[in-house]
Each structure stands twice: as C-alpha cells, then as structure tokens.
C-alpha cells in the first residue's frame, strides 16, 4: 500500500520515495475535490501520484507497471451529532475551504472562545465518532469525513 509522508512526500510499493513541494500538494488536493487528478514526479517514465476528494488516492508505479489505489475512505454510517459538534464540523469545513489547510486547535479555541482542554476533548470526540480523521501529534491534520451536504451552516 503506498504511503503519504506528511506533508508532501509519497512512498510507492516499489520502495521509491517521491517528494514534492508542500505548496504543490496543497494545490493538487484543493483541485481534486470534484475529480481525480494526478501529478508526475518528472523525468522519463515517472511515478504518478493521484488525488481525489482532497486527499492522496493512489500511485501509478512505472517499475511494476501498475496502479496502487488506496481503499476508499468510508463515510461514517452513523452521522448523528449534537448542534455543538455540528458547529465544529462546519468551522473545520469552512476554515479548510478558505485557508486550504486544516485548522489548528488554537484556531478553534479563538473562534469558539473556549479553552484548550475543551477543544481537545471535542476533537477527540469527533474522531471517536469517525466524523473527522486526524494524525495524532501532527498539527493541522484534521480531515472531515462528513459529506458536504450533511454539514450544518456555521452560525
């Protein structure tokens, strides 16, 4: 299974690591919300790295001459959340859309005028309910797992 090394490197199943500029990957992810797009590593017979729905989606390997696709990220079955949790989801959605990167917990503290432990607890709860995914210990790694149409308006 190919791997994404945060923030902008990829490792193919053949062992090759492919590095891009962080800005390039941010733009690719932003451009992949509606369609699957790819970028090549350059040179002759390059690896291709695919993006879809704002995330890394797979690699085409010229050595093995085949594609390795990531399993589709599942949408949580149970989309129930409280109004307060909905506001956090909406904030994450709009913040990410406007800034092209996910909010840090500090951004949520300021927006909701609340304390670090409250925000952290909320992030853990949303993650436990599979409404968001994140990489523990990595700043700005929150990813929404709720489809756009289920996200409430930000009040």
- Of residues 9 and 16, the one with the C-beta less far from Zn ion: 16
Q: Total number of residues binding Zn ion (CB under 5 A)?
A: 5
Question: In the stretch 14-53, what mask flags binding to Zn ion with x, by CB under 5 A?
Answer: x-x-------------------------------------
138 contacts Zn ion (rule: CB under 5 A): no
Half-sphere exposure of 97 (CA within 13 A, CB side): 9
Which residue in 12, 18, 119, 144 binds Zn ion (CB under 5 A)? 12
Minimum distance from residue 32 beta carbon to Zn ion (Å): 21
Minimum distance from residue 47 beta carbon to Zn ion (Å): 5
11 contacts Zn ion (rule: CB under 5 A): no
Minimum distance from residue 61 beta carbon to Zn ion (Å): 3
Tokens matching residue 73: 């990220």
Instruction: Classify residue 89 as exposed, middle or buried by CB count within 10 Å of its CB (0-12, 13-18, 19+).
Output: buried
Question: In the stretch 74-93, what mask flags binding to Zn ion with x, by CB under 5 A?
Answer: --------------------
- Quick one: which of 37, 15, 42, 40 has its CA closest to 27? 37
- Quick one: which of 76, 73, 98, 114 has its CA closest to 154? 98
Minimum distance from residue 83 beta carbon to Zn ion (Å): 47
* Residues forming the site for Zn ion (CB under 5 A): 12, 14, 16, 61, 63
């Amino acid at each position: 299974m190919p791997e994404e090394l945060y923030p902008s490197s990829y490792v193919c199943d053949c062992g090759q690591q492919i590095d891009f500029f962080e800005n390039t990957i941010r733009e690719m992810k932003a451009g992949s919300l509606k369609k699957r797009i790819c970028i090549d590593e350059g040179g002759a017979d390059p690896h291709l790295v695919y993006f879809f729905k704002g995330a890394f989606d797979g690699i085409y390997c010229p050595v093995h001459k085949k594609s390795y696709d990531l399993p589709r990220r599942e949408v949580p079955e149970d989309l129930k959340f409280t109004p307060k949790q909905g506001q956090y989801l909406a904030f994450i959605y709009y913040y990410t859309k406007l800034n092209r990167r996910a909010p840090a917990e500090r951004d949520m503290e300021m927006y909701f005028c609340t304390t670090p432990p409250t925000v952290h607890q909320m992030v853990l709860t949303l993650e436990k309910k599979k409404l968001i995914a994140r990489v523990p210990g990595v700043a700005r790694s929150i990813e929404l797992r709720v489809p756009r149409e289920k996200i409430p308006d930000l009040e």
